[in-house]
Structure 1
Amino acid sequence: MTLSQSVARPPMIMIVAALGPKLGIGYQGAMPWRLKQEIKYFKNVTTNSPADKINAVIMGRKTWESIPAKFRPLPNRLNIILSRSYNNTFDENQGIFYYNDLNQFIKDLNTGKYELPKPIHRFFIIGGAQLYNTLIDQVNDLLITQVENDQDCKIDTWLDWNLSNWNQQPTEKLSHFINQGDTNIQVNNDFIQEGDFKYKYAYYTRN
C-alpha cells in the first residue's frame, strides 16, 4: 500500500492514541481504553475543515469492522476502507470508498473518476497497525494522543515507529495545525485524567 510521491494528493496525516513508552495501540483487535474526551478530540480534528472542503479518513478493513455499525460511516467525512479483497468501488449514498490500493484511489481521484461533494482538505490515517506501520514513511505530520497508565494495561499491538526521526512541536503549533478549519479546537499541555489513564495531545513533524 505504498503511495507514489509523484501522485498529487491533499496532505496526509496520521492520528492515533498510543500508550507509552512502546506506543501500544490495541489488545485483541480493540482499543485498550475508552476515553470520552479523546474520542471528541478525534472527531473534531478529523472533521474540521474549511466550509468549502471535506476531510477523508483512511482505515483498514479490521478497523472499519471494529466501529459499531450505528456509527458507520464516520459522519461528515469521506470514509476510505482499504483491503486486498476489495474491487475498488464507491458507495455514493454513504460516501464510502472500498479500495485494495491507496495509490490507485489517489489516481482515480486525480483523473476525475468521482464527483465528490467537496474537494478533500486532508487525509487522516486512523488505523489499524498495518496501515500505520506501512504508511509512516509517506506522511510528514503525526497527531499522537500520548497515553499513560500506572496499572497493568494489556497490549498486544504496537506501532513500529522510531520517533527519534521526528520533532515534537509546542502546543501552540499543535493548536494552529488542527484549527485550519471552521472549528476552534482547544488544546493545552496539561494531562487529562479518565479512569486509570491520563493523556495529552501531541504534534510531531518529520526531521
Structure 2
Amino acid sequence: MPRVLNAVVAACPDLGIGHRGQLPWHPLRLSKEFAHFRRLTSSSEEGKQNVVIMGRKTWFSIPEKNRPLRDRINIVLSRELKAPPAGAHHLAADFSSALALVETQLSERADQVWVIGGSSLYQEMMESRAPTRLFVTQILKQFECDTFLPDISPDKFVLLPEFPGVTRELQEENGIQYRFEVYESVQQ
C-alpha cells in the first residue's frame, strides 16, 4: 500500500497562505494553531521520525532559531541550491526526488510524510495519485495575501466529518477565529 502523503496549512477565506514571506497574520501569533502544526508533524511511532518536505522559500521563512524543525527529518526542495541549507537534513531537486529519498535512504527511519509549503509544492502533492490528506486550518478572517493554496476540488477531496485527535470546535486566539478541517483524496 502506498504511503499516505499529508499536508498541513493555514489559509484565509480566499485560500491565502502567505504575505511577503510571512504568514498573513504576522506579527500576530496563533500559539494553539502552531501547537496543532507541531503535534501533527511530530512522530508518535517509537524509533521513527516524521519527514517534513518544504520548498526553499518556506525553509527560509522559518525563523533561524527554529530551523531545522526539531524531531523531524527536514527535506528542502530547490533546483538552485547544490547543498542543503545550513541546518536542513536533506536537499532534493523536486517533490518526486524527495519522495524517492524517503522510500530509499530514509525508509527505516521515516514515519509519516508531511508537506508544509509552499504553494507549488501543495499543488504538486494535491495532483499526485498517492493517497493524500490535507490538514487545513481555516482562518476565518481575511488578511492581505500574495501566496495562495490551490483550490481544494470537491471531485478530488472530501471533507471528513471527524478525524482522530483533530477537534472540530471553533478556536479563537488574539481575536482571530479558526477551525481545523481534514480532507482526504478521493481515490479514482
Higher helix share: 1
1:133 alignment partner in structure 2: 123
Give per-residue Cα distances to partners, 1:45-93, cap 9 Å, x unaligned.
1003211321000000011001111110000000000011133x569x9
**TM-align CA RMSD:** 2.4
2:9 alignment partner in structure 1: 16
Give per-residue Cα distances to partners, 1:163-197, cap 9 Å, x unaligned.
322211122xx11xxxxxxxxx5x42211111231
2:97 alignment partner in structure 1: 104
Give me the TM-score of the superposition, normalised by structure 1: 0.77
Task: Write the distance in 2 (CA, Å) between the matches of 1:109 and 1:161.
Answer: 27
Q: Does 1:168 pair with 2:163?
A: no
Which residue, 69, 77, 84 being the options, matches 2:72? 77
1:110 Cα deviation after fit = 4.2
Q: Are the equivalent residues in 1 in contact too, given 2:43–2:72 (CA < 8 A)?
A: no
Q: Which runs of 5+ in 2 are unaligned?
A: none
1:94 Cα deviation after fit = 5.4
Greater C-alpha Rg:
1
2:41 alignment partner in structure 1: 46
- Structure 1's consecutive aligned runs of 4 or more residues displaced over 6 angstroms after TM superposition are none
- Change in Cα spacing, 1:42 to 1:109, as seen in structure 2 (3 Å) is closer
Q: Are the equivalent residues in 2 in contact too, given 1:10–1:120 (CA < 8 A)?
A: no
The share of aligned pairs that are identical, in percent, is 32
Give me the TM-score of the superposition, normalised by structure 2: 0.84
Task: Write the distance in 1 (CA, Å) between the matches of 2:125 and 2:175.
Answer: 31
1:107 Cα deviation after fit = 3.2
Number of aligned positions between the proteins:
180
